[in-house]
Amino acid sequence: MSYSFKWSVLWSGQSGHWLLQGLLTTLELSALAWLIAVALGILSGALRTVRFTPLRWAAVSYVEFFRNVPLLVWMFFWYFGVPPLLPRAVQDWLFNHGAEFWAGTLALGVYHGARMSEVIRSGIQSIPRTQFEASVAMGLTTFQAYRLIILPVALRLIVPPGTNESLNLLKNSSVALTISVAELTFQTRQIETYTARAIEALTAGTLIYLVLCLSIATIMARVERRFAIPGLIARVEPAG
Amino acid sequence: MDFSVIASNWKFLLLQGLIGLGPFIGGTLRLAIPAILLGFALGIFVGLARLSSTRWVRAPATVYVEFFRGVPLVMVIFWIWFIIPQLLRLPIPEYGVALTAFVIFEAAYFGEIVRAGVQSVARGQVEAATALGMTGAKTMTYVVLPQALKNMVPSLVTQMIVLFKDTSLASIIGYVDLTKAAQIVNNREIKPFQIYIFIAVVYWLCTYSMSLFARRLERRAA
């Protein structure tokens, strides 16, 4: 293989700026989607463990449908499929205010919410039922029992699988390039297009993802030790 | 809402997109099935290498797994797309690029499943096999792997479902799978809501039947 490397393309011209912009967009997209995913995940994960059947079924349908369809299809669905159903004025406003970013955030958040839900449900189910019964016996309502007893314990138990799933979300944010969100992978491709230096551009993008993932994993390993519940060796198995 | 666009295009979507019969080389299943088989086969080697007592075998396998688990699949697809033609000096069809990318990427994930499966087999089993005079390779093939495989079934199926969904990303480089077929139809018909909901349901039926099958398998294995 005779390929002469020219690494300077990464910092000459616009490339450095593009990479930084891409990194910031990836972080922004992932952070917003993560908030949606965690909110939906806690809500539907908790609802899947309650006794009231209609609520449980609503949560099950959401989780089973959204997590079993590829993220790419959801990207296209939220970006191309949903806006035409909205009123004309809303459509115009959206397409003037970065519709692809919002569609990407929603697609990523709703998809990972369904996956997060499984993590949270397994956390809740690993708490002995007696905890819930004791809370109710103390006079707490079901909502209070979940808010004050069950969820705080469950959330501490699921730090490891939750971290894993959050990193999946971060990596999956790259799929947003298909609806032309200018995130890191998109910018990597742009550098490749402008400089015809595929290997250099891809190396830069890959290294940024690797550093991001490894540093989050390292930080979270510390958080995990800090939040571990002493004396409790409950193992939470993530269910895909 | 008018769903007649599905009535007139479902044949193209299912035959061309899902199965791969049609004017284009494509098909989600034609990519997913070999990718699952080859990815798992490579994953067995990766997983066993991770458990090797020789450092020079274990270290590269660990780097391999950590690397691919820290990088988005889209990135890996682009790597293969640009690198293989450079290396081989000949153009590779999208199918070859996609299959290579999936096998290399998913082997890292399958490798971790295999490792966990092998580690779940009781230590006494290996000792008993050694006491019976079996070699290391024989112990692995006849004693450890069959039992490990049973323990791996749930996570294996989960990973197969993930891989099946991931094949949609092959459409990025132009491989005509179900997602690309939907894009082709949508470019002509401009009915995005109906078309994308339809393929979402098709994907869902495939993945959901895989998980139902897995549940049955688990019950029988237990």
Give the closest of B183, B196, B204 to A68, CB-based.
Answer: B204
The answer to whether residue A232 is domain-embedded is: no
Q: What pLDDT does B44 receive?
A: 94
Q: What is the pLDDT of residues B87-96, one digit of tens each?
A: 888 888 899 9
Under DSSP, is residue A162 helix (H, G, I), strand (E, B) or coil? helix
Q: What is the pLDDT of residues B171-187, one digit of tens each?
A: 999 999 999 999 999 99
Q: Is the pLDDT of residue B190 over 60?
A: yes
Chain-chain contact of A240 with B196 (C-beta, under 8 angstroms): no
Q: What pLDDT does A232 receive?
A: 61
Q: What pLDDT does A240 receive?
A: 43
Chain-chain contact of B208 with A68 (C-beta, under 8 angstroms): yes
Q: What is the pLDDT of residues B6-16, one digit of tens each?
A: 988 988 999 89
The answer to whether residue A72 is domain-embedded is: yes
Give the closest of B67, B69, B203 to A70, CB-based.
Answer: B203
CA distance readout (Å), B31 to B39, B73, B134, B172: 12, 15, 39, 14
Chain-chain contact of A240 with B158 (C-beta, under 8 angstroms): yes
Q: Which of A75, A65, A62 is nearest to A102 (CA)?
A: A75
Q: Does B187 touch chain A (CB under 8 A)?
A: no
ipTM of the complex: 0.91
The answer to whether residue A87 is domain-embedded is: yes
Query: Can you give the residue range of the structural domain that contains A200?
Result: 16-227
Q: Give me the CATH number covering residue A195.
A: 1.10.3720.10
Chain-chain contact of B211 with A68 (C-beta, under 8 angstroms): yes
Residues of chain A found within 8 Å of residue B212, distances taken between Cβ atoms: none
Question: Residue B109: pLDDT band by 50, 70, 90 thresholds?
Answer: very high
The answer to whether residue A163 is domain-embedded is: yes
The answer to whether residue A235 is domain-embedded is: no
The answer to whether residue A233 is domain-embedded is: no
* Dihedral (Cα; A129, A132, A137, A143), 10-degree rounding: -150
- Give the other-Cβ count within 10 Å of A25's Cβ: 20
The answer to whether residue A89 is domain-embedded is: yes
* Contacting B residues, span 122-181, partner chain A, CB-CB under 8 Å: 155, 158-159, 161-162, 165-169, 171-172, 179
Indicate the number of domains in chain A.
Answer: 1
CA distance A149 to A152: 6
Q: Which of A219, A210, A205, A211 is nearest to B67 (CA)?
A: A210
Residue B146 buriedness (CB in 10 A; 0-12 / 13-18 / 19+): exposed
* Dihedral (Cα; A68, A73, A75, A79), 10-degree rounding: -130
* CB proximity list for B54: less than 8 A, separation 6 or greater: none
The answer to whether the beta carbons of residues B126 and B76 sit under 8 Å apart is no
Q: What pLDDT does A239 receive?
A: 45
Mean pLDDT of B57-83: 94
**Domains (range + CATH), chain B:** 4-221 (1.10.3720.10)
Nearest residue on chain B to A204, alpha-carbon basis: B75
The answer to whether residue A199 is domain-embedded is: yes
Block means of pLDDT (10 residues each) for chain A, 240 residues, are 75 85 96 97 92 93 95 96 91 89 96 95 89 92 91 89 94 95 93 87 94 92 84 52
Q: What pLDDT does B65 receive?
A: 95
Chains A and B form CB pairs within 8 A to the count of: 119
DSSP classification of residue B140: I
Residues of chain B found within 8 Å of residue A85, distances taken between Cβ atoms: 193
Q: What is the pLDDT of residues B196-222, one digit of tens each?
A: 999 999 999 999 999 888 888 878 766
Chain-chain contact of A171 with B203 (C-beta, under 8 angstroms): no
The answer to whether the beta carbons of residues A42 and A27 sit under 8 Å apart is no
Flag whether the pTM goes above 0.80. yes
Mean pLDDT of B44-52: 93
CB burial readout B92-113, b (16+ within 10 A) else e: bebbebbbbbbbbbbbbbbbbb
Residue B142 CA, chain-centre distance (Å), reads 26
Mean pLDDT of B130-138: 89
Give the closest of A76, A178, A202 to B196, CB-based.
Answer: A76
